[in-house]
Structure 1
Amino acid sequence: MNASLGPLVITLAIQALVSMASFTLPVLAPEAARSIGSSASLVGLYVALIYLAAMISSLLSGRWIPRLGAIRVSQICLLSAAAGLAFAAIGTLPTMAISAVLLGAGYGPVTPASSHILARTTPANRMGFMFSLKQTGVPLGGVLAGALVPSLVNGFGWQGAVLVVGLACVVMAGIAQTTRADLDSDRRPDFRATNNPFQPLALIFAHPSIRNLALCSFVFGAMQLCLTTYLVTYLTHSYGLALVTAGLVLSLAQGGGMVGRLLWGWVGDRWLAPRRLLPLLAMAMALSSLATAAFTPSWPLAIVVLVSIFFGATAIGWNGIYLAEVARLAPAGSAGQYTGGTLFFTYFGVVAGPPTFALLTESSGSLALGYGVFGALLLVIGLMLARIAMRPVAPN
């Protein structure tokens, strides 16, 4: 492996395993709920707890990465995810709550840690694609959970399946140890962070370019979760698709997101600077959301599928190019701190977006209003980013 490929492989693998761990309980929620004697609908609260914990841990990760090293932090994340799954296997509501918090604590710092590593090891002209490729680990984790966890449940029961995924996280932490000497060579054991846990937010607000991106990522993250959370329900209730067909459309949208992450990274490296590409992605997201709001049973299914795939390519595909731009703008050696701070806003959008969407739809009785309002908001965000992109580039 060359100097940039090795770090990419290890960060991608870590990202995929932690992502798979976070998707495991939602995948087997019906089995777990039946065993515990609770409603499977509580999985929504479980996921919200994961992202609330991720908001906090991503913010704090900037204090840990310089001192411990990004690989060590990643190992702790994997072990935290494994511990979260072990608590889930106990099978009570209190331990499920502990499980979600531990999974979120492990999920939050993984991206800042990997950004710290890739910012050091990736040539500037390949950062967009490499960051985007690494970020495919998130949907890849979802694919792995969907493909493997049901079979593990059949073979070992739901609790056994949870423990197997947890064991995989432990094994990955051991594998990561083989790279620590090289990738954590920049750690500073004597690093002392301030007592203010909100320091990363102060750093971001002192850097206008990163501040603007962070605030926009709140809406991007909200839109991403609203697409994946409500699309199947919208297509079945408003467009009239069968559940299986609507699920297939969502899968195609997720696939579009994976392809989009790679495509936008490639475009950002070769054709269009990320600061100019992100406004276009925001406006494309907006148009996709507005088109989705306009779906009626008279629309041909092929058009609905194409819009959904493009919606996924933009609303799911923006992350890598965004993180590459944050890492580029951050002062040398501080990509992890700035990424952790910006992800606080991203995860906040993930937590706040679906409930806001639900309130909009409850008030009107139509999911179309939610997609329409979010689409209009993203159009404004895209125009704002386009105006910012026209300004001269400020030096770091």
Structure 2
Amino acid sequence: MSTEPSSSGGHGHNLLLVLLLVTGVQAMATLSVLSLATLAPAVSAHFGVGAHFVGYQVSIIYISAAAISLIAGTLVRRWGAVATSQYALLLCIAGVLGLSTGNLLIVVAGSLLIGAGYGLTNPAASHLLFRFAPAAHRNLLFSIKQTAVPLGGVLAGLMLPALTALAGWRVALLAGSGLSAALFLILHLYRRHFDSDREPGRPLRKNLHYAMRLLAQRRDLIRLSIMAFCFSATQLSLMSFAVSMLVQDLATSLVIAGTVVSLMQGFGAFGRIFWGTIADRFTSGIPVLIIIGILSIASSLVMVFIDRTWPFAAVIALLCVFGACAIGWNGVFLAEVARVSRPEEVGSMTGMVLFFTFSGVVVGPTFFATVYGIIGSYPMAYGIMALFPIIGTLSLRGLGSTSPRH
């Protein structure tokens, strides 16, 4: 099968199918990543730690994701994008099963497995979408796929606390793994069809060194990587600690907090489609990413003033605006990476820049948890996190004129 994108009728059918499959994989991987964070107020008592310690568990996940992303693009070319997605789901299933044991050492190992699975998802999805997505709609299509991240968060917020209340947190985690297993079986039906372009003999080490040298020579990709590091630190801090902030600082119940955060994630999904649609009107996604950064800075700073005197509707509104921005940038970013990369390098370059994205996720929740441990206030910690979108937005200055490579 050709690696060139096409908008023909047959490819149009393939595009819809690919979009559904990669979106499903991303949603299930995100559900796995956020499982423990969503249940932190309930699970922390079992481990005898504060709920904010989940930030360190999230960081462990993304250390693993960052490491695997360095070779993910090459693995996609060797195994095929669908097979790689299946392996990603298997790793996530095994990891969540590890979390359900309640054994601290196994939880650490399970978190590493979840991270390895998560790190494989985006290069595989970018490889498939680039083959079938028309260039004129690429920002929107990448953004639709990236709605899977907040939708996975919505699923976590609605399903996991409710199942925990009914049957306990272990059962809730196992239910999420069951959904991933079902999608694994569905993917197997399409593996031969979509993996016809794989290259089983593609060397790992040689391609890793080549991709690293290529990235080092590309100023535009380096600055996009800095932005992604900062924006992802903000995003995961918002997603990981919002439930704990609502429960501990605003005295809401776990179920209500989970519902509010699901709404916030829903606005993040809407934001991804909205920003992707706007970005397709430009020749570059950079102006849209700058707007997102400015709005994220403002939202972070306003978070400082949240307390129990606020109308709850105002708290929800702020979280929804913050979510639409801090969770809404990824699709435009990935489409921009694809836009400035050569067609045969999309998977590899996606993997390389995601190394920095995942590194930001490692730093962000750890930094947030450390700040919270010092000042004891979630709203104040969110205000301090404004440093990240400030730096990320500044890194984009002057990139808007970058011309497309294909």
Give the TM-score category using the shorter length.
Answer: 0.7 to 0.9
- Which residue in 1 is equivalent to 2:252? 243
User: Among 124, 147, 154, which residue is 1:136 paired with?
Assistant: 147
- Write the distance in 2 (CA, Å) between the matches of 1:90 and 1:368: 32
Q: CA deviation at 1:309?
A: 2.0
1:174 maps to which residue?
185
CA contact (8 A) 2:25 2:85 kept: yes
CA-CA distance at 1:345 after TM superposition: 1.0
1:71 counterpart (51, 72, 82): 82
Q: Distance in 2 between matches of 1:151 and 1:355?
A: 28
CA change 1:121–1:307 in 2 (3 A) is same
Change (3 A) 1:141 1:67: same
Q: CA separation in 1, counterparts of 2:100 and 2:383?
A: 40
**Residue deviations 1:141-186, cap 9 Å, x none?**
2222333334555676544443443333233222112212222121
**C-alpha distance in structure 2 between counterparts of 1:384 and 1:85, whole Å:** 36
TM-score, with structure 2 as normaliser: 0.84
Q: 1:282 matched to which residue of 2?
A: 293
What is the RMSD of the two structures over their aligned residues, measured on CA atoms? 3.1
CA contact 1:62–1:200 (8 Å) conserved in 2? no
Identity of aligned residues (%): 35
- In the alignment, which residue of structure 2 is the partner of 1:255? 266
SS of the residue corresponding to residue 385 of structure 1 reads coil
Cα offset, 1:339, TM superposition: 1.2
Q: Which has the larger displacement, 48-57 or 305-314?
A: 305-314
CA distance in 2, matches of 1:372, 1:134: 30
Distance 1:302 1:87, change over 3 A: closer
In the other structure, the counterpart of 2:200 is 189
The runs of at least 4 aligned residues of structure 1 exceeding 6 Å deviation read 296-300
1:3-42 equivalences under 5 Å are: 3-28=14-39, 38-39=48-49, 41=51
Q: In structure 2, do the counterparts of structure 1 residues 241 and 89 end up closer, same or farther at CA, with 3 Å as the change threshold? A: closer
Q: Which residue of 2 aligns with 1:393?
A: 403
**1:393 match: secondary structure:** coil
CA positional deviation for 1:139 = 1.9
Offset, 1:51: 1.4
Structure 1 stretch displaced more, 134-143 or 358-367: 358-367
Aligned with 1:270: secondary structure?
coil
Query: For residue 235 of structure 2, what is the aligned residue in structure 1?
Result: 224
**Is 2:91 the counterpart of 1:62?**
no
Q: Alpha-carbon deviation of 1:362? A: 5.8
Q: Does 1:120 align with 2:160?
A: no
Rounded Cα–Cα distance in structure 2 between residues aligned with 1:37 and 1:216: 35
CA distance in 2, matches of 1:273, 1:38: 49
> What are the residue-to-residue correspondences of 1:148-163 with 2, within 5 Å?
148-150=159-161, 152-153=163-164, 158-163=169-174
Query: Does the 8 Å contact 1:257/1:315 carry over to 2?
Result: yes
Alpha-carbon shift at residue 284 of structure 1 (Å):
1.8
Which stretches in structure 1 are left out of the alignment for 5+ residues? Answer: none
In the alignment, structure 2 segments of 5+ residues that lack a partner are 1-11
Give the alignment's TM-score, normalised by structure 1.
0.86
Distance between the aligned counterparts of 1:159 and 1:236, measured in 2?
Answer: 21
Deviations 1:318-375 (A, max 9, x none): 1111111111222112222111111111111111113323445666666565444443
184 and 247 in structure 1: CA distance in 2 versus 1, 3 angstrom threshold? closer
Q: Secondary structure at the match of 1:388?
A: coil
Contact 1:20 1:145 in 2 (8 A): yes
The equivalent residue for 1:85 is: 96
May I ask how many residue pairs the two structures share in their alignment? Answer: 392
